[in-house]
């Protein structure tokens, strides 16, 4: 619960809440009143069944969470269980990024969509690319103050994360997933 957070944690500049399986209570959104909060809400929208299948669930705290977030990052797959959610999100959010695999992506600010072409990469392992993207976007937007440039930085870093296994340097001749 938010009451257990150390006071110093409540004063940080940027916060990223990214539950995996509803282990972060949505009430944490109220704990960071002076922080820029980014959320990757997938863990509030799914659960693991006893047979280990992951299924989608209703997200009753959606309005509470997204109305307080400065940035919400999710994929089209994340909202597939509720197509109407996609229509509501732009009205709730100052900005909303939706990525579509490594071949196409688009970004919505308010209710005006802006399209960006994604750079194709030879994908080795997509695990964690969305988390890399969301975190990098949040930090870059804060530091640069330019959402367009921040998207490009985040996409480049996410691309590098999917096209290498353990090298800190991208493979020669490959570009990162990015927004071209």
Least confident of 1-15, 44-58, 105-119, 155-169: 105-119
Give domain 2-162's CATH superfamily. Answer: Ribokinase (3.40.1190.20)
Across 19-28, 71-80, 95-104, 117-126, which has the greatest mean pLDDT? Answer: 19-28
> 16: closest CA among 45, 49, 43, 51?
43
Output the pLDDT for position 83. Answer: 64
Q: What is the mean pLDDT of the chain?
A: 77
Output the pLDDT for position 3. Answer: 85
State pLDDT tens for residues 53-91: 888 888 888 888 888 888 888 876 776 666 667 667 666
Mark out the alpha helices in 5-164 (DSSP H runs).
62-68, 83-92, 129-144, 147-162
Domain positions in the chain = 2-162
State pLDDT tens for residues 35-56: 999 998 889 988 889 999 888 8
Q: How far is Cα 152 from Cα 90, in angstroms, rounded to an integer?
A: 20
User: What is the torsional sign of CA 161, 162, 167, 173?
Assistant: negative
Q: How far is Cα 61 from Cα 27, in angstroms, rounded to an integer?
A: 9
| Distance set, CA 168 to CA 6, 142, 160 (Å) | 34, 24, 9
| 68 neighbors 37 (Cβ within 8 angstroms) | yes
What radius of gyration, in Å, describes the C-alpha atoms of the chain? 16
* pLDDT at 18 > cutoff 80: yes
């Amino acid at each position: 619960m938010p009451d257990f957070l150390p006071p110093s944690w409540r004063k940080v500049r940027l916060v990223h809440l990214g539950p995996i399986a509803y282990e972060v209570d949505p009430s944490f959104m109220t704990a960071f009143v002076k922080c820029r909060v980014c959320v990757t809400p997938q863990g509030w929208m799914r659960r693991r069944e006893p047979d280990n299948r992951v299924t989608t669930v209703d997200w009753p705290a959606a309005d509470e969470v997204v109305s307080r977030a400065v940035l919400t990052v999710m994929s089209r797959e994340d909202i597939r269980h509720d197509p109407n959610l996609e229509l509501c999100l732009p009205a709730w959010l100052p900005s909303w990024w939706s990525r579509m695999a490594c071949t196409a992506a688009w970004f919505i600010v308010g209710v005006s969509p802006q399209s960006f072409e994604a750079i194709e990469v030879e994908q080795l392992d997509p695990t964690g690319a969305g988390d890399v993207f969301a975190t990098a976007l949040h930090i870059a937007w804060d530091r640069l103050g330019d959402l367009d440039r921040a998207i490009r930085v985040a996409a480049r870093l996410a691309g590098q994360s999917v096209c290498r296994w353990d090298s800190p340097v991208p493979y020669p001749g490959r570009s990162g997933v990015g927004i071209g």
